[in-house]
Amino acid sequence: MERTLSIIKPDATRRSITGKINSMIEEAGLCIIAQKRILLSELEAEEFYGVHKERPFFRDLVKFITSGPVVVQVLEAENAISLYRKTMGATNPKEAEVGTIREAHAESIEANSVHGSDSAENAIKEINFFFEEKEIVG
């Protein structure tokens, strides 16, 4: 079994579609084994998205992800990382396949409703960023 970190972003919490997104996650065969609704501080957001700090969209990304509550989750399945990336669809919703979360719900490349870890190494780092082991019930 593999774990991945998911974030349901402020555009989705604002529209009260976290339940719809969770349904798509569970229907894809991913088990939600930890979940909490939090408000990220600017410092936390800068640290979490640190790999993007040289990108032109970094400041806007930090502003957006701190603009409202997010739901952070740990998802578990066989090949959870690639399965969740397939379930989310492409970063840019215009390129996302039909039936994916981003195709169904994302507003733009920035307000794209969900984040998922992109590698096994980052999944561990990102899960540890938000959760203690005792909060994860597999």
Tokens standing for 125?
């780092």
CA distance 28 to 15: 22
Closest CA to 115 of 89, 133, 135: 89
Interaction between residue 17 and ligand CMP (CB under 6 A): no
The 53-72 contact track toward ligand CMP, x by CB under 6 A, reads ----x---x-----------
Determine the interface stretch with ligand CMP among 11-19, 25-33, 73-81, 110-118 (rule: CB under 6 A). 110-118
What own/partner pairs with CB < 8 Å and gap ≥ 24 does 60-68 have?
A: 60/110, 61/110, 64/9, 64/10, 64/11, 64/110, 64/111, 65/7, 65/9, 65/10, 65/40, 66/39, 66/40, 66/41, 66/42, 67/10, 68/10, 68/13, 68/14, 68/39
Residue least distant from ligand CMP (Cβ): 115
Residue from 24, 102, 115, 127 carrying the catalytic annotation: 115
The answer to the question of residue 123 lying near ligand CMP (CB under 6 A) is no
Tell me the site size for ligand CMP, rule CB under 6 A.
8
User: How near is the Cβ of 133 to ligand CMP at its closest, in Å?
Assistant: 24
Three-state DSSP at 105 gives helix
115 belongs to the catalytic site? yes
Residue from 3, 102, 105, 115 in contact with ligand CMP (CB under 6 A): 115
> Does the footprint of ligand CMP cover residue 110 (CB under 6 A)?
yes
* Residues belonging to the active site: 115
Residues at the interface with ligand CMP (CB under 6 A): 52, 57, 61, 91, 109-110, 112, 115
